[in-house]
Amino acid sequence: MNYFSELKGKKVIIVGGSKGIGKDIALAFARLGSHVVITGRKEADLKETCHLLRELNPYCSFLTADIQNVNEIRSMMDSAYSYLGQIDILVNNAGINIPKPALEVTEEDWDRVLDTNTKGTFFCSQRAGMYMIQQQIPGKIINIVSQMAFVGYINRAAYCSSKGGAVQLTKALAVEWAEHNIKVNAVAPTFIETDLTQKMFEDKDFYQDVLSRIPLGTLAKTNDVTGAVLFLASDMANFITGETIKVDGGWTAI
C-alpha cells in the first residue's frame, strides 16, 4: 500500500517552513508530490530550503512575512493562494520561546511570544479558512503546538500560555468550521533535536532534566513530528478534528 499517495498534487502552505521541524515537514510533502509554499522571516533561509524543495517538486515556492503583523499575514496568505490556486492544507509551525523566570518576563517578551504562537496561528488560520470555505472543498489545518500546552515547566510562563491557547484555538476552529468539512488538529511535540535547540542542550543539567521526564528516554527527532502531521493531512484522518496528538515520548502520560 502506498501510504499518503493522496497527498500528491495537494496545495500546502507551511508557515515557519525554512528550518527545523517546518523544513522537515515541507520536504516530506514535496517528496509526496505536494505543491508547497513555505513562509518565514529570513529570505536567505527560505531560499536555501526552497532550493531543496524544488529538486523534489518544481512547483514549490516561498514567501517572506512576519506573522506578528496581521497585514503581512493577509498579504502572505493571499499571495500563496494566488500562486497555488487553492489551499488544501495549512501547517502553522512558526513559533518562538523567550525562556525567562516569570518575575523577569517583560511586556515585550510576553507580546512577542503570544503574538507569534497564538495570534499569528489564529490569523493565518483565519485567512486559510476563508479561502477553504470559498473553495467549497475539504481542508486541513494543522497547528504545531507543544507538550507545554499540557504541563508546566520552569522559565516558560509565556510559552506555556501561548501553546495552551493554541490548543483551545484548535478546538474552537474545529467546531466552527466542521460544517465546511475543514478539519483542524494539532501536534504537540516534546523537545526536538535540531540545529536550533543544539545550543540549549549544551547545558548538561537541563538536558538530563528533560530526559528524566521522558519515559522513552530520548529526545524526539523532526521526523517524529512530521509523521504525525502527514497522518493528520491524509485521508486516514478524515474523521479526526479538534484533536491534539502528543509526540512527547510519554512525558504527559506520567
Rounded CA separation 24/187 (Å): 14
Across the range 216-239, mean pLDDT stands at 96
Rounded CA separation 176/253 (Å): 29
Rounded CA separation 39/22 (Å): 10
CB-count exposure of residue 139 (10 Å: 0-12, 13-18, 19+): buried
| Domain ranges within the chain, ordered by starting residue | 5-246
Give the pLDDT score at 107. 98
Cα torsion angle, 15, 241, 137, 236, sign: positive
Coil, strand or helix: which one is 50? Answer: helix
Q: Give the pLDDT band of residue 2 (cuts 50, 70, 90).
A: confident
Bridge partners, residue 13, by sequence: 37, 90
Q: Give the pLDDT band of residue 1 (cuts 50, 70, 90).
A: low
Cell matching residue 204: 548538561
Across the range 163-187, mean pLDDT stands at 98
Please name the amino acid found at residue 179: E
Quickly name the fold that domain 5-246 has: Rossmann fold (3.40.50)
Q: Give the pLDDT band of residue 154 (cuts 50, 70, 90).
A: very high
Contact 50, 23 (CB under 8 A): no
Across the range 94-112, mean pLDDT stands at 97
Across the range 61-78, mean pLDDT stands at 98
Q: Give the pLDDT confidence of 12-21 residue by residue, as tens digits.
A: 999 999 999 9
Contact 122, 167 (CB under 8 A): no
Strand 220-221, strand 192-193: pairing: parallel
Backbone phi and psi for residue 229, each to the nearest 5 degrees, phi listed first: -65, -45
Q: Give the pLDDT confidence of 187-199 residue by residue, as tens digits.
A: 999 999 887 788 8
Say how far residue 151 (Cα) sits from the centre of its chain. 19
Residues of the chain above pLDDT 90, percent: 94
Coil, strand or helix: which one is 44? Answer: helix
Contact 128, 84 (CB under 8 A): no
Please name the amino acid found at residue 60: C
Q: Give the pLDDT confidence of 40-57 residue by residue, as tens digits.
A: 999 999 999 999 999 999
Across the range 236-244, mean pLDDT stands at 98
Bridge partners, residue 221, by sequence: 193
Task: State the DSSP H helix or E strand holding residue 138, giving kind and residue range, or none if neither.
Answer: none
Q: Is the pLDDT of residue 87 over 70?
A: yes
Coil, strand or helix: which one is 193? Answer: strand
Active-site positions read: 159
